[in-house]
Structure 1
Amino acid sequence: MPPATAPSPAPLAALVLEHLADAVYLLDPVSSDIVWCNRPGWESLGLGREEVLNHSVLSLQMDVSGAPHWNEIAAVIRSAPCYTFIGRHRHALGHEVSVEVNTTRFFEGGREYFLSVARDITRRTALEADLRKRENQLWFALNEAMDGLWDWNVSTGEVFFSPQLKRMLGYGPDEMTPTLSSWSDNVHPEDAAAVQRLLTEHVQGRRARYEARYRLRNRSGQWLWVVDRGRVCERDARGAATRVVGMVQDITQERAAQEALARSEAEQRALIAALPDIVMRLDRQGRHLYVSERIGTLSSIPVAQMIGRTHRQLGLPAALCDELDAVVHGVFSTGLPRESEFEVDTPLGHRTISWRVVAEQEGPPEALQSVLAVCRDITEQRQAANELARHRLRLEELVAERTEALNVAKTQAEAANRAKSRFLANMSHELRTPLGAIIGMTGLARQRAADTTQSDQLDKAAQASQHLLQLINDILDLSKIEAERMALEAGAFQLGPLLEGVSQLAAHRAQEKGLCFAVMLPPALAQQGLMGDALRLKQVLLNLIDNAIKFTQEGEVRVEVGTTDTAPPGCQGLRLAVHDSGIGIDEASCERLFKPFEQADNSTTRRYGGTGLGLAISRELVRMMGGDIQVHSQPGQGSVFEVQLALPTTQPAPVARGPARAEGLRAQLAQAHAGRPVLVADDDPVSREVAAALLRRAELAVHLAADGEEAVALAARQRFALVLMDMQMPRLNGLDAARRLREDGLNRHTPIVALTANAFDDDRKRCLEAGMDEHLTKPIDMAALYEKLLALLPRG
């Protein structure tokens, strides 16, 4: 057969074009008409050949991808050897076909043509979109998953570490070298050999898969517990591994939880072993799942033989089994604890056993798989309870007898206390009334004294009276403290004026004994506003200073004031220390000083005098203020009495200063209220005279009444600017007289001041409840009287 010859190129090209899978179009460059196309050209559009030929690509909407205008496309085709773009052709059935179009131009017979080949890439486009979606999903999973991915190319040694794995170890995206050593170098030395062995066995095919739990060091040097799992995914023709892929999970917290659980279980086992009780776990059939070793105190059956058996199978009496099963079934039915007691014979004899069963876990009863039972031997407890009941009955009888005796004693004690209170109240009144007259008359006589001898004698009489008044006050203060009736009155004050007044009173006594007296007070602290009972604080300081002067024969007495840093917010910590160079006190006697009627020893009382009340009262007053008094002393080296307390701070209050305070108040009173009528009601003629003299010095018009009835009668005829009323008077006492004045009449709104020898707080309260406005105690303090009058007398 002769050799084959190649066919003519033109028929061959036509045959090839006709059988191509791609659509081929011959276009007029000017009109964009399709002058020729192959079969796929019209079939890909869902049209017939005649519906495509001589029709413009624009009229056929062959490109719906938003391509430029035809003239622009033609210009691009002419400027390049081949123009390629991805577009979409509209099918006659309405759907779109993705195509890749390659267009070039050529000339035939002197005419220009565009040859376009359109390949259907719809499936390819869909596959590419799906691939991109899967790649995005994988990338998202690698970035967001809690586990880290590694991919080891065994041939090159390169390792890919996922972003999450790097974050797990504290590294940035570009900080870990993609090598096996950057991983293995961070494995804990104690775990490295085991990890390497497991990985090698898997790579060599001796282990189905690789899994290891080990410690891995992160970027900051901390050790993380991880579980590392991997598998060979590619091998070469010889079977050698070429690629291994794996995941790493951080189990540090899980490991810590497991270790904590193991410790907890060990502790529970130790606790159960240490308990005197027997602990069991039973299932719904009553079979023993667990029994503690202490069961040996009740049964000779070994623990191993009890597991999986019921009480009946262990040979317990049928009645006892019924009772125990009922408790167990009750817990399984309700989920609520049940308990009972039963008697049983044991190796230790006949015993009483408490049996308590509880659900092992929370949830609905039908979900319960097991219950816990706790057995306790309560034989001795029951015996003790019976014995205790017998003792309780006897004790109740004794308590009833004792209670009756205590009630009698309480009634007697309360009666004695009431009698004591009445006695002290009467004694206060009976002592203060004549003492007030003595002090008042002495003061008036002192103002009219003709020579220095008389003045000196009257001063000594006044000092003796003040000493007696202090003694009375100490006894009354102690009584109030013991009866818990002492109350502090808080007000604004400053340490500067307070200590100035203390110094004026104490400096004279120190000078008489030839002692130096000094007060050391920081200027800033002197002006600090404080809230507290200034009068009681002054009483404490005067007590301490008087004692220091009394027991110091030469040298000095000084007061040092400082601060402490232990006060709460809003308060000022104070330290007020009274130093002396006196006889001193031994350590054994220091604490006894603060007990009522106690001094260092009897010889001190005989030599220096005193009742031993001042320090006891001072310490109680300071403790009521929230502080305390301490003493530091040695015989022959002087003493330091230190007051420490904290007082709230406030704005400084204006304080009158100087020894002429009473005279200044008197002048103010005379200037503002001269001639105003004031009624004085007092049954003691000397007290009336003293009060009248003090009021007349302030240029007030004084009217006198000897009892309450006379005071009410005078008040019914005249309006007074103010009434001074004694509490205890014949015919009508001061309280009832005040109530009568408040009922109706000319003096219904007139200020009434109780001027009485009754010095208890209850007396003041009774006066205010009766309608009085203020309360002053005898002996009359001139400055206090004038100050009250200035505050109460109406202007005009």
Structure 2
Amino acid sequence: MESPSSPAPTSFQLLTVGVPAAVRRALGRAFRAVGEPVPNCIDISGWSEAELDSFVCGPGDALLLWGPSATEAWHIRIRTFRTHHPDLPTLVRIPKGDPVIGEAMLREGFHEIYVTAAQAPEALRRGRARLMGPRGQAQSGSGPARGEDPYRFDGLFQNLYDWIYVVGISEQGEMTFETVNPPLHASGSFLNPDFAGRSPESCLTSSSAAQLIAHFQRVLQGGTPLQFEEEHPIAREVRTFQTILTPVRNKWGRIHRIAGISRDITALKVAQAELRASEERLNHALDGTQQGLWDLDLETGNIYRSPRWFGMLGYEPGAIASTLQAGFDLIHPEDRLQTEAALNAHLEGRLPGLQAEYRLRTQSGDWLWVFDAGKVVAWRGDGRPARMAGMCTDITERRRAEESLRALVGGVVHEIRNPVYGISINLDALEATFGEEPRYRPFLLALRESSDRIQGLMNDLRDYGEPRTLNPEPCRVRTLLEDALRSCETLQVSRDCKVRLALEDEALVLPLNARRMHQVFRNLIENALHHSPPNGTVSVRGRHLRDEGHDWWAFSVEDEGSGFDPESLARAFEPFFTRRKGGTGLGLSIVKRVVEEHGGTVAVENAAGGGARVTLRVPAPRRRMELIGEPRG
């Protein structure tokens, strides 16, 4: 923290609140670039009240607040500080494209706002000018007194964004500007203060004067306020203004003045035109795809759905109510619970985005498969989600292809399983009869190995082709892991290995599909046992972590083998790729698919001390889950 008594090597001191050091240096460069004295930037963010009270401002000093990052406590202290230093110009840096904050700061009494460091010197110049009276004398903060300069109210509305003016109407109908107050940062010469005492014809272009006089006449004839938009040529360009004219009557009821408020809305019009063009381009692009756009206002519950969204389902635009509930009512009953869970997980911050596959009922009564992807795009002031947007993609053809493939796989598995079962029975009989004879034993072992391999392949094909519907339920993770370990006991004994299980939370309950996750852990433990050396140890760990603003439960399975070679590491999740003799190459592919259906991720790596490690992460519920009927720990 700089001391309040630090020497000022430059001509004035810039007191800063919440301004990073790098920005303070950028401010110095900005003043130097325009030939202004370089300020001595003093960070007063950490000053005590005593230090603030003892500070004496110089004639050229200024105060700079780092926009919305300042705390409410600092706003209060700054107000108190400014009451003791009424002649101190105050600036506020606001984020780009956030005029709401700028308006709030100006209403609060700050003299100027700016966005970039390069704009700071000009903003300070305007702030200093605003503190000077019309004679170039500093304004006093002690309040008005009898006999003050009659021009003390000039510039009272300099913080507004509008031209505010009054036109006097004589009894003969002559029109004369009485006062004109331009807005902050007024550019060009639409209406200037020196118009006072002059007629519109004498100070405006002929086209602008004709337009305004015609509107003044309409107000005089109708006797009611008038709002309109019009264009005026300003500084060799045409700008659009929105104007409100209000008649003012004297005590005899005659309209003797017209008060006007005009705002330059050229930038708004340009933005609206660009938005319309962007929407047209987006609609043209979506027309050639099977994608529908949606935009959900979480505060009102209203949702916008693009025409393409309705077209995918065979409805006319607007045929479905613009509510989230109306959309959920179209989802297949088997898919609704899983879809709602995915949405809630994202809104609660447990998942970085919404991704769900589900069926929607079309107007004809058929079912359309869609892939829905979206995310929160705006938040409220308290940090809660305010708006969400996404797109629905028609994946019906892909799902039909998958169903056909599953049917084919199921048929192949069924047709092969019966003969393999017969082969296995006959092998049992041969082993019982000739298993001890040396000349037959090698052949029987080879046949048994081939039979087991075919059976394993059939089981993996059946699992890999299983439908994607998840339907998770609360599941105790410890029990799930212990069941998976029991399934691997025979392999564990044959490999003469140990399995060590360590959970950070022994009573952990997560929303999972127990059968599918049992298969995941069983596959990972079996792989680790197959690659472990004799007397090796397989470690299964579970721990809570927070990454990129989201809470996860991470489970790792690590062996003490030789680890992944480079090709296996790169192709670990590729179906049917395996280096292990007798393996099908589907184990890790099944693991990846099931974990991703739970909203999680899977990663493979080589451990630092040797061996392979597979780590899966699943979203952690925001609130701790417990099984119904179990006592609390």
What TM-score comes out, normalization by structure 1 length?
A: 0.27
Comparing both structures, which one devotes a greater share of its residues to helix? 1
> Larger Rg: 1 or 2?
1
What TM-score comes out, normalization by structure 2 length?
A: 0.33
